[in-house]
Structure 1
């Protein structure tokens, strides 16, 4: 597993990188298909001192699947611990869903990475990503694994790009755009 450690508004020392490598290496025991782990450490100036250090961990697996987790804490090492623990829980949930699908005899496909755009009064970020064909149920699963509120995917049943999203009532919605 390749590990990339990046810093934003923070200097990554050898000690911090060694600590992160040690903690993240444990994840490979839970999920041997991890090809790359990317840890982004950041510091934000917020009013809440216990939310200033941010650790975001993204795991890339061989069939093109992504898992992502983010945690905030006052201490950088504690934020790393929290994000690794959160990722362990996500891996367990992911493995449970895969086993459930295998038992049900469903075919497994490789979901795509999701891109995010930040909205405001103007476009401030553009992100490109590959879209993989999948069912709406698989798109919901990938959305949950990434911890997002929406997910864009190619639906082969409708031969179009679709969006699934989490509704406030806890259910999911499916958007199927049509040209006017």
Structure 2
């Protein structure tokens, strides 16, 4: 596995790099034989250290975890433990994913944009017709998944939402994390069938 350990305004020493490599290889190695790459970014905000772990284990599967603590080692260990708990929860489905990855189905290319959020407090009035500022314009692929597989991938990546092609009906669907902590599912095909 290709491992990158970075520090944002923080010096990451060899001892911390070794600690990260040993722990990630142990945890991820239990579930995946050939993980592709991992990136761990340490940053400091006032008195707290933040560890952000991102592991790409296969096409379409990204594991992500973030934790904060007063020292870098505990922040990484906490993030690693969160990642390990999610891997244990989905271990059977992840092992089955290796044998049926993509199932020969075509990926759909998609384009998405990141738009700057409006500030909460405005000193000056903002014209209603002002165009939003596009921060990033990227492409990605939309996988064909079942609803449960989409929820699993969204939770493993700690993503707020995931768009996918529903394997049952071929339509575009989305799962998302609701404010109350539950998972919501948007299926336009169900709307058409009910109408």
1:146 and 2:146 matched: no
Query: In the TM superposition, what is the alpha-carbon distance from 1:72 to its structure 2 partner?
Result: 0.8
Instruction: Verify the 8 A CA contact 2:113 2:134 in the aligned structure 1.
Output: no
Task: Report the Cα distance in structure 2 between the residues aligned to 1:67 and 1:116, rounded to whole angstroms.
Answer: 22
Aligned residues: 165
Task: Report the Cα distance in structure 2 between the residues aligned to 1:15 and 1:53, rounded to whole angstroms.
Answer: 16
Higher strand share: 2
Counterpart pick for 1:54 among 50, 55, 59: 50
Task: Report the Cα distance in structure 2 between the residues aligned to 1:164 and 1:119, rounded to whole angstroms.
Answer: 23
Assess, with a 3 A threshold, how the Cα gap between structure 1 residues 14 and 53 changes in structure 2: closer, same or farther: same
Assess, with a 3 A threshold, how the Cα gap between structure 1 residues 72 and 123 changes in structure 2: closer, same or farther: farther
Deviates more, 1:129-138 or 1:63-72: 129-138
Query: In the TM superposition, what is the alpha-carbon distance from 1:131 to its structure 2 partner?
Result: 1.9
Task: Report the Cα distance in structure 1 between the residues aligned to 2:68 and 2:113, rounded to whole angstroms.
Answer: 20
Task: Report the Cα distance in structure 2 between the residues aligned to 1:5 and 1:118, rounded to whole angstroms.
Answer: 28
Q: Name structure 1 gaps, 5 residues minimum.
A: none
Task: Report the Cα distance in structure 2 between the residues aligned to 1:57 and 1:89, rounded to whole angstroms.
Answer: 14
Instruction: Verify the 8 A CA contact 1:118 1:125 in the aligned structure 2.
Output: yes
Give the aligned CA root-mean-square deviation in angstroms: 3.2
Q: Name structure 2 gaps, 5 residues minimum.
A: 119-132, 190-195
Higher Rg of the two aligned structures: 2
Instruction: Verify the 8 A CA contact 1:55 1:80 in the aligned structure 2.
Output: yes
Partner of 2:76: 80
TM normalised by structure 2 equals 0.68
Task: Report the Cα distance in structure 2 between the residues aligned to 1:18 and 1:166, rounded to whole angstroms.
Answer: 35
Instruction: Verify the 8 A CA contact 1:39 1:58 in the aligned structure 2.
Output: yes
Query: In the TM superposition, what is the alpha-carbon distance from 1:29 to its structure 2 partner?
Result: 3.6
TM normalised by structure 1 equals 0.73
SS at match of 1:144: helix
